[in-house]
Structure 1
C-alpha cells in the first residue's frame, strides 16, 4: 500500500512517517512545502495551493493522509487559514480524483466545537470561536459535499485535541516548560480540565485508519484519557521530575487584562508574542472531549496518558 502524507514534515507527520517507514506493508511519500529534517529521502516539494503538482505527486498512491494546515493562533493575513485549510482541501480532492485515489484521512480539530463545551462527541454542533476552527469546519463541509457525488470513497476525519510529545514545541510544551522551571503562574483556579493527545498514540491511530478501506464518511474525536486539570499537570510534573514546584495564582480577569495588553504590544511592534488574549482564554477554558467512538473502533493506544506525559517530561526536562 502506498500512502501519501500531505504536510508530513511537521510534528505529527514525522511521527507517522516513523511508524509507516518501519512497516513492510507500506511505502510512503511525504508531500510538503517544507523540507523534512528526518525523512528527506521520502519528501517531495508540494503545495496544497498548487493542484497540478499535487496530481503529479499522487500518481500510484492508494490513500492520502492530509495533515497540511495553517494552525497557529497568530497567522497573518487571516485569509491564509481559508486558502490553505479550505481551498487546499478542494485542490487535494481534485488531484486525488484525477489520479483515481479514493481514500483520504483528514486531520481536522476539536477546535470546531468552540470553547467551554460539555464534553462534546462527534455529533455535537459545531461552534468554532477562531479562524482556525472555522476553516477546519469548512474543510469538513467540503469533504461532506464531495462525498455526495463520490459515495464509493472512504473518508475518515480525525478531530484530535491538542497533541504533545517529545520534540514538540507547541502550547503544551510551553506550559510544561513553565511548570518545570518553577516560575509558573496559574491563571484562575486551575481546575479546568484539558483533553490532550500523546503523539505516539495519535500517530498510531492514523496508521490504524490507513487499513480501513470501507466506503463512507466516519468522524472520530481523538483524546487520551484521563483529562488532566492544570493542577494535575503541576502535580504530575513535580512527581516525574522529582522536585517541588511552587505556583503563583492570579485572577482570571487580571490574566485576560494582561493578554489584551500583549495584543496591543504585538500590534504596535508588528511582532508575534508568546502571550495573547486568545492564548490566555484557551489556557483557562475547559477543553474536555469525548473519544468513546475512537476507543471502541478496535484501536488500542500503545501508551497510557501517564506514560506519554512521563516520556515527554523525562525527554525534555529530565536531568
Structure 2
C-alpha cells in the first residue's frame, strides 16, 4: 500500500512517517515544499498550490494524508490561508481523480467550531472566528461536496485540537516554557479548560484510519482526555520538573488591552510578534471538545494524557 503524505516535513508529519515506516506492507512517500531534515530520502519537493506538482506526486498512490496547511495566527496576506488550505485541497482532489486514488485523510481543526463552545461534538454547526478556521471549514465543505459525486471514495476528516509533544515549538510549548521558566503571567483566573492532543496519539489515530479503510465520509474530533485547566498545567509542570512555579496574575481586560497594543506594533513594524489579541483571546478561552466518536471507532490511544505531558516536559525542560 503506497501512502503519500502531503506536508510531512513538519512536526506531525515527521512522527507519522516514523510510525508508518515501522509498519509492514506500507510504502511511504512525503511531498512537501521544504525538505525533511529527518526523512530526506522519502521526500519530494512539491507545493499544494501547484496542480502539476500534485499530479506528479500522486502517481501510483493508494492513499493520501493531507497535513499541509497555513495555520499561524499572523499569516499575511490572509488570502494565503485560502490559497493553501482550500485551493490546495482542490488541486489534490483533482490530482487524485486523475491518478485513480480514492482514499484521503484530511487534517482539519477544531478551529472550525469557534471559541467558547460547550464541549462540541462533530454534529455542532461550525462557527469559525479566524481566517484559519474559516479556510479549514471551506475545505471540509469542498470534501463533503466531492463525496456526493464520488461515493466510492474513502474520505476521513480529522479535527485535532492543539497538538503538543517532544520537539514541537508551538503554542503549548510556548506556554509550558513560560511556566517552567518561572516567568509565567496568568491572564484571568486560569480555570478555563483546554483540550489538547499528544502527538504520539494523533499520529497513531491517523495510522489507524489508513489501515482501517472503509468507503464513506466521516468526521472525527481528536482530543486526549482529561481536559486540563491552565492552573492544572502549572501544577503538573511543577510536579514533573520538581520545582515551585511562581504565578503572577493580571485581569483579562488588561491582557486584551496589551494584546491590542502588540497588534498595532506588529502592523507598524510589519514584524511577527509573540503576543497578539488573538493569542490572548485563545489563551483565555474555554476550548473543550468531545472525542467520543474517535474513541468509539475501535482506536485505543497508546499514551495517556498525563504520560504525553510528562514525556514532553522531561524532553524539553528536564535538563
1:301 is aligned to 301
> Where does 1:1-319 land on structure 2 (aligned, <5 Å)?
1-319=1-319
Give the distance between the partners of 1:197 and 1:24, measured in 2 at CA.
26
Q: Deviations over 1:241-289 (max 9, x none)?
A: 0000010000000000000000011111110000000000000000000
The root-mean-square deviation of aligned C-alpha atoms, in Å, is 0.5
How many residues are paired up?
A: 319
Give the distance between the partners of 2:300 and 2:101, measured in 1 at CA.
28
SS in 1 for 2:211: coil
Give the distance between the partners of 1:255 and 1:135, measured in 2 at CA.
28
Give the distance between the partners of 2:211 and 2:291, measured in 1 at CA.
20
Give the distance between the partners of 2:132 and 2:32, measured in 1 at CA.
20
SS in 2 for 1:287: coil
Give the distance between the partners of 2:100 and 2:268, measured in 1 at CA.
50
Task: For structure 1, list consecutive stretches of 5 or more residues without a partner in the other structure.
Answer: none
Task: For structure 2, list consecutive stretches of 5 or more residues without a partner in the other structure.
Answer: none
With the length of structure 1 as denominator, give the TM-score of the two structures: 0.99
SS in 2 for 1:210: helix
Give the distance between the partners of 2:220 and 2:168, measured in 1 at CA.
23
Give the distance between the partners of 1:81 and 1:153, measured in 2 at CA.
26
Q: Deviations over 1:162-189 (max 9, x none)?
A: 0000000000000000000011100000
Give the distance between the partners of 1:5 and 1:57, measured in 2 at CA.
10
SS in 2 for 1:23: coil
- How far 1:56 moved relative to its partner? 1.1
Give the distance between the partners of 1:263 and 1:182, measured in 2 at CA.
25
Q: Which moved more, 1:249-258 or 1:213-222?
A: 213-222
SS in 2 for 1:299: coil
With the length of structure 2 as denominator, give the TM-score of the two structures: 0.99
**Would you identify which runs of 4 or more consecutive aligned residues in structure 1 move more than 6 Å?**
none
SS in 2 for 1:307: helix
Give the distance between the partners of 1:14 and 1:242, measured in 2 at CA.
30
- How far 1:212 moved relative to its partner? 2.5
SS in 1 for 2:82: helix
Give the distance between the partners of 2:243 and 2:130, measured in 1 at CA.
37
Give the distance between the partners of 1:212 and 1:82, measured in 2 at CA.
30
Q: Deviations over 1:8-37 (max 9, x none)?
A: 001110000010011122110000001101
- How far 1:52 moved relative to its partner? 1.4
